[in-house]
Structure 1
Amino acid sequence: MTEAVMAKQIFFIAGTDTDAGKTFIASGLLAKAKQAQLSTLGLKPVAAGCSETDQGLRNDDAMKLMTQSTVQLSYEQVNPIALQPAIAPHIAAQRIRKPLSAERIVGLLRGVLMTNKAEFTLIEGAGGYRVPLNPRETLADCIKELRTPVVLVVGMKLGCLNHALLTVEAIKRDGLHIAGWVANQIDPAMSAYDENIETLRAMIPAPCLGVVPHIDNNTAEAAAEYLTLPSMEG
C-alpha cells in the first residue's frame, strides 16, 4: 500500500448529472478502501427524496454509504439535511421554509470532519456538481470552501461527453483538484461505448479510476472490483 493511500484522505464525489451513479461508485470506493484495511466514512450532507420512517426521514443513498462505513455515526451526522420530495434540494427546502446555505452545510461538515478518525472519507453530492442551494449559491461553493479534491462520476450514456467536459471545466475553474474520474455504464446499450471512454481518457486531465460496466448485481463489492482508490496528490 502506498504512503499516499495510507494518509487520511477526504474526497468529494460529484456526478455529471442526476442518476450518474454517485452512490454506487462511492459505495464501491468505500468497499475498496475497506479491502485495503482502511477505516472508512461516507457522508451525504444534503439528500432529497427521503422516506418517512419511525426514526424520521431516511435516504436510501445515505443508508448505503453508512453500510460501507467502518466509522459509525448517527444518521443525522451522515445526512444532516434530509428533504422528503424527490426534487431539486433548494426547491424542497423552500417548500418547508428551511432555506439552504453554503455556510450552514460547511459548518455541519466541518463539525463531523474535525472529529472524524476515518482514513478514507467520501462526501457525496446531490445531483450534478452545481446543484443550487439558493439563488446565489450552489453545493460547489461548499467544496470550494473545504478545498476538497473531487472524484467525478461520469454516467455513461448519450450526451455524457458534453456533461463530463463541462463539469471538469467548472471544477477546474473553481480551483479544485480533480483526483480522478470513473466511467459508470448506466446505459447498457450505449452506442460507441469504447470510443466514448477513449475520448474521455484523452480529454479529462486526471486519472481514470475505473471503468465500471453495467452490473445486474449492483453491490458495492461488485463495483469495487473495477475501481482504484484516488490519491490526494496532484
Structure 2
Amino acid sequence: MAEGLVTRHDDGALCTLTLNRPDKLNSINNAMFVALDRHVRAIASAGAEIGCVVLRGAGRCFSAGHDLGDIATGEAQDFGFESRVIERLANLPQAVITAIHGHCYTGALELALAGDIILVSESARIADTHAKWALTPVWGMSQRLPRRVGFAKAREMMFTAKSYTGAEAAAMGLANACFADDRFADEVAAFANSILANSAFSIAGYKALMAETDAMPMTMALAHEVHNTKGVGPDMHERIARFSSRKA
C-alpha cells in the first residue's frame, strides 16, 4: 500500500515521518509522494498539537534518490504534484528537521532541502547527480541548494556530481550539524526537544515572515515585519510566569 511507503510516529508534540522503502534504499517514486502528501496535509491541520517534524529514512540510508528504475520503465510521474508536496512540507508552520544518514542523492537531496534544519551523521554521503544522468531538476534543487550553501558551492555540487561526507556537508553550511553514527538518533531527538521547549506560535511566526520576505529588499522586508508580525502568542503569559516563579 502507498500509505506504508511513508510512516508516521508521534511522541507527544514530536512527529517523525519515515521514508519506508528500505529494500529499495528508500528510492523515491510517485506513490511515496502520495503517502507523504497525506501526512503533510494532516500535520498542517494539526495546529499546536505537533511542534516539530523529523523526516528520516528507514534502514541503511535516508534515500538513494529518485527511483531511476521507475524512470527507465516509464513510471507515471506528476512533477508538478511532487514539487508541490515538497513545497507543502517546507511551508509547514512547524519546525521541520531532515535527519540524513547514509545515502542522500539528487531527488532525495531536493526533498531533504525542504527541512528548516538539516542534521547529518558521519556516514552520510550527499550529492546532486542530475548531470551524471543527463537530467535537470524539477523538485527545487536549482533554487533551494544555492540558498543553503551559496551559488559558488551549489555550482560545484551541480556541475561535478561529487559526493560529500557528513562532515563536509556541515562545513559548507548544507547541514546544521554532523553527529557520530552511534549517537545520531539521540542527537536528533535532543535537537528536536530543544525546539519543542520553545513556543510553536513563535516558530510559525518566524517561518511565515521569512517566507513572505524572501528576495525582498531589506527596507521592504523590515517594513513587512513591523506590519505583519503575529505579535503575542497565547502561551506568552504562562511562559513568563514560569520563568518568574523560578527566579523567586
Counting strand residues as a fraction of each chain, which structure ranks higher? 1
**TM exceeds 0.5?**
no
Normalised to the residue count of structure 1, the TM-score between the two structures is 0.37
Counting helix residues as a fraction of each chain, which structure ranks higher? 2
Bigger relative CO (Cα 8 Å, ≥ 6 apart): 1
Pair member with larger Rg: 2
